[in-house]
C-alpha cells in the first residue's frame, strides 16, 4: 500500500487550501532512497518540512533515520503526524482531529532533541537532531529538500562533506520553478560530482557525491560589525546560513530601531524636565518595560540593541528557526548581552500576560508563498503574551493592511512612522 501523503497535516503551522504538507519532491526523494537500499541508520534527512520524507521511509520499515528540521513548527508537525500514523499502524482507533488533541500532542512532543517514535515497534523510526556531527556521522545517504537561501545550502553542503561518511551521496531536490544554477555551483564547492537529474512532475533532483576536502573551520556562522540606530558603538551580528538577512541589518528592522531610538530620546528629554512641566504629549510611546520579547528574533539585532540600551530589562528573544536561534545566541555572546533565546513556535512557551513590550518584524512569506497567516499567528501570540496595557511595536511592509488586524487582535493601534516601504505601529493590549 502506498504511503498516505494526503493524510499529513501542517499543524501547528498555518493551514490553508493552497498549502499542503508535502510535494512531488518529497515523493521523488523517497523513491530514490528506497531504490538506494541504504539502511535507515545510514540515512539522514534535512529540510523535511512536515515529515513526509521521514514518515514515508519509516512506513516502509526503515528505522534509525536521523532528521533535521529548521522550523519548530515542522518538528511539531512531524511529531504529530508520526503520532497519528503510529496509532493507525498499531491498530489503535483514530484520534479525533481537534485543537485540544493538537495541543496535547504538541506539548508532549515539544522537545524534539530526544524524539523517538517506533510506529508500534520497539525500534526507533527516527531521531531528531540539530545540524551537527551527530546528525551526519556515518551517513551514506543524505536526502535534502533544497532551502530557499544559498547561504543555508552552503552551510548544509559543508556539513555533509565535513561530517558524513567519505562515500556519502547527497540527493537534493526542489520545485523546478525555485531552482537555479547557483545551487549547482554551491554544491560543487563541497562535492566533486554534481549531477542534475531530469525534471519529473515539476520537481528536479540533484545528486552530489565525492566530498571535497573541507576547510579547518565551518564557514558559518559569519559575523559582521554594523552600525544600528540607538547604539553608540557597532553591534556584532552573527548569522548561520538559514538566518534571514544574514549578518546584515534588514530595512524593516532598521526602521523599527529608528523609532525606538527616537522614543528613547523623547523619554530622556521628558525626564530631564521638572515634573511639574512635563505634559502628556512629552511622554514616550515606549513603556517602562520590565519584560521585553523580540518575537521572531532572527539574528537577534532588536533584542541585543534593546538589552544594551535598557540593561535593567529582562529580554527574551524567540524564533521558530533553529538557524535564527543559533545566530541570535551567537549575537548575544559576541556583544556580552544576557538575554534568553528560545527555539519555539510563536512564543508558545512564554507565559500568558507576562510581557510589557513586544518587538515584532513579522514575515510575510510561508516558504515560497506570500501568505499573511504567519503574521496572524504572531499577532495572536502577542495578544496572549502581553500584559493588559502592554505595548506591541510592529514594523511591516506599508502595502500590507495590518493596522485593522492589529486593532482587532491586540487593541487600539496607531501609526508611529511610515516610509514608502515600511510602517511602524503601536498597539495597546486591551
Q: What is the pLDDT of residues 271-315, one digit of tens each?
A: 455 544 444 443 444 556 799 999 999 999 999 999 999 999 999
d(CA 48, CA 22): 9
Domain definitions of the chain by residue range: 5-211, 222-428
d(CA 428, CA 46): 41
pLDDT at 99 over 70: no
Q: Can you give the pTM of this predicted structure?
A: 0.87
What local confidence, expressed as pLDDT, does residue 111 receive? 40
d(CA 162, CA 141): 14
Mean pLDDT over 257-268 rounds to 82
State the CB neighbour count (10 A cutoff) for residue 52. 26
d(CA 154, CA 58): 28
- What are the angstrom distances between the C-alpha of 304 and each of 163, 184, 321, 328, 388? 32, 36, 18, 8, 25
Buried b (16+ CB within 10 A) or exposed e, 276-288: eeeeeeeebbbbe
Mean pLDDT over 221-247 rounds to 97
* CATH entry 3.40.50.720 includes domain 222-428: no
Q: What is the pLDDT of residues 23-35, one digit of tens each?
A: 999 999 999 999 9
Using an 8 Å Cβ cutoff, are 294 and 340 in contact?
Answer: no
404 or 268, which is more confident: 404
Cell of residue 410, nine digits = 491586540
d(CA 190, CA 170): 11
- Banded pLDDT at 363 (limits 50, 70, 90): confident
Using an 8 Å Cβ cutoff, are 265 and 285 in contact?
Answer: no
d(CA 135, CA 271): 54
What local confidence, expressed as pLDDT, does residue 92 receive? 31
- Banded pLDDT at 162 (limits 50, 70, 90): very high
Helices (H), strands (E): how many in the chain? 12, 18
List residues bridging with 317 in a β-sheet.
Answer: 294, 341
Using an 8 Å Cβ cutoff, are 157 and 191 in contact?
Answer: yes
- Banded pLDDT at 426 (limits 50, 70, 90): very high
Q: Give percent of the chain with pLDDT exceeding 90.
A: 79
- Give the max Cα distance, the chain: 80
Q: What is the pLDDT of residues 311-337, one digit of tens each?
A: 999 999 999 999 999 999 999 999 999
* CATH entry 3.40.50.150 includes domain 5-211: yes
- Banded pLDDT at 17 (limits 50, 70, 90): confident
Using an 8 Å Cβ cutoff, are 194 and 184 in contact?
Answer: yes
d(CA 196, CA 187): 11
What local confidence, expressed as pLDDT, does residue 265 receive? 67
- What are the angstrom distances between the C-alpha of 369 and each of 364, 365, 423, 426? 9, 5, 22, 27
The mean predicted confidence, pLDDT, of the chain is: 88
What local confidence, expressed as pLDDT, does residue 264 receive? 76
d(CA 249, CA 296): 15
The number of angstroms, rounded, from the C-alpha of 266 to the middle of its chain's C-alpha atoms is 34
Amino acid at each position: 500500500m502506498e504511503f498516505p501523503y494526503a493524510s499529513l497535516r501542517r499543524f501547528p503551522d498555518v493551514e490553508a487550501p493552497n498549502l499542503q504538507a508535502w510535494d512531488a519532491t518529497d515523493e521523488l526523494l523517497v523513491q530514490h532512497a528506497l531504490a538506494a537500499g541504504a539502511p535507515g541508520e545510514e540515512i539522514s534527512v534535512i529540510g523535511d518540512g512536515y515529515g513526509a520524507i521521514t514518515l514515508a521511509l519509516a512506513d516502509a520499515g526503515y528505522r534509525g533515520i536521523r532528521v533535521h528540521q529548521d522550523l519548530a513548527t515542522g518538528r511539531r508537525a512531524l511529531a504529530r503526524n508520526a503520532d497519528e500514523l503510529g496509532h493507525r499502524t498499531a491498530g489503535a482507533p483514530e484520534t479525533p482531529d481537534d485543537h485540544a488533541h493538537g495541543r496535547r500532542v504538541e506539548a508532549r512532543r515539544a522537545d524534539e532533541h530526544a524524539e523517538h517514535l517506533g510506529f508500534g515497534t520497539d525500534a526507533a523510526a527516527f531521531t531528531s537532531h540539530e545540524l551537527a556531527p551527530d546528525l551526519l556521522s556515518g551517513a551514506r545517504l543524505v536526502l535534502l529538500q533544497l532551502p530557499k537561501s544559498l547561504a543555508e545550502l552552503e552551510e548544509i553542503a559543508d556539513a555533509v562533506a565535513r561530517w558524513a561518511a567519505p562515500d556519502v551521496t547527497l540527493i537534493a531536490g526542489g520545485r523546478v520553478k525555485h531552482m537555479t544554477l547557483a545551487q549547482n555551483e554551491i554544491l560543487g564547492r563541497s562535492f566533486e560530482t554534481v549531477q542534475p537529474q531530469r525534471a519529473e512532475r515539476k520537481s528536479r533532483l540533484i545528486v552530489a557525491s565525492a566530498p571535497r576536502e573541507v576547510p579547518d573551520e565551518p564557514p558559518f556562522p559569519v559575523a559582521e560589525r554594523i552600525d544600528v540606530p540607538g547604539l553608540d558603538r557597532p553591534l556584532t551580528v552573527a548569522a548561520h546560513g538559514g538566518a534571514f538577512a544574514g549578518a546584515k541589518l534588514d530595512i524593516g528592522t532598521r526602521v523599527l530601531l529608528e523609532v525606538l531610538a527616537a522614543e528613547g530620546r523623547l523619554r530622556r528629554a521628558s525626564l530631564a524636565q521638572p515634573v511639574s512641566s512635563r505634559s502628556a504629549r512629552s511622554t514616550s510611546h515606549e513603556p517602562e518595560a520590565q519584560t521585553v520579547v523580540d518575537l521572531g528574533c532572527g539574528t537577534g539585532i532588536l533584542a541585543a540593541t534593546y538589552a544594551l540600551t535598557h540593561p535593567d530589562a529582562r529580554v527574551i528573544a524567540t524564533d521558530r528557526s533553529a538557524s535564527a536561534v543559533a545566530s541570535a545566541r551567537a549575537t548575544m555572546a559576541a556583544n556580552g548581552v544576557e538575554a534568553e533565546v528560545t527555539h519555539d513556535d510563536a512564543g508558545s512557551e512564554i507565559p500568558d500576560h507576562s510581557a510589557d513590550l513586544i518587538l515584532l518584524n513579522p514575515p510575510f512569506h510561508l516558504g515560497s508563498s506570500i501568505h499573511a497567516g504567519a503574521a496572524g499567528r504572531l499577532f495572536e501570540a502577542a495578544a496572549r503574551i502581553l500584559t493588559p496595557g502592554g505595548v506591541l511595536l510592529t514594523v511591516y511592509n506599508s502595502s500590507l493592511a495590518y493596522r485593522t488586524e492589529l486593532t482587532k487582535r491586540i487593541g487600539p493601534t496607531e501609526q508611529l512612522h511610515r516610509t514608502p516601504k515600511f510602517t511602524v505601529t503601536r498597539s495597546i493590549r486591551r
